Homo-oligomer: A and B are copies of this chain.
Amino acid sequence: MNASVDGHYLALSGGVGGAKLALGLSHCVPAEQLTIVANTADDFQHYGLHIAPDLDTVMYTLAALSNQELGWGLAGETWQFLEAMERLGEPTWFRLGDRDLATHVFRTSRLAAAATLAEVTAELCQRLNIGPRILPMTNDPVSTQVLTDEGRLGFQDYFVRRQCEPAVSGFEFAGIEQAQPLPELMAALEDPQLRAVVICPSNPFVSIDPILGLPGVRIAIRNTAAPVIAISPIVAGLAIKGPAAKMMAELGIPVTAAAVAEYYEGLIDCFVVDESDATLAPMIETENMSVAVRPTIMKSLDDRVSLGQAVLALAEELT
Contacts and interface: CB of A to CB of B under 8 A. Distances in A.
Interface of A: 47-49, 74, 77-78, 80-81, 83-85, 87-90, 97-103, 105-106, 108-109, 112-113, 124, 127-128
A49 B112 CA distance: 11
15 contacts: A47-B106, A78-B80, A80-B97, A81-B98, A81-B101, A81-B105, A84-B98, A84-B100, A85-B102, A87-B102, A87-B127, A87-B128, A88-B103, A88-B124, A88-B128
Nearest to A99: B84
A106 B89 CA distance: 10
A84 B103 contact: yes
A123 to B, nearest CB: 9
A101 B85 CA distance: 9
Complex copy number for this chain: 2
B48 A112 contact: yes
Nearest to A46: B109
Contacts of A81: 81, 98-99, 101-102, 105
A113 B81 CA distance: 21
Contacts of A74: 84
Nearest to A113: B48
Contact of A78 (B98, B106, B108): B98
Contacts of A128: 87-88
B99 A83 contact: yes
Contacts of A105: 47-49, 81, 85, 105
A92 to B, nearest CB: 10
A127 B85 CA distance: 10
Contacts of A109: 47-49
A127 B84 contact: no
A10 B244 CA distance: 60
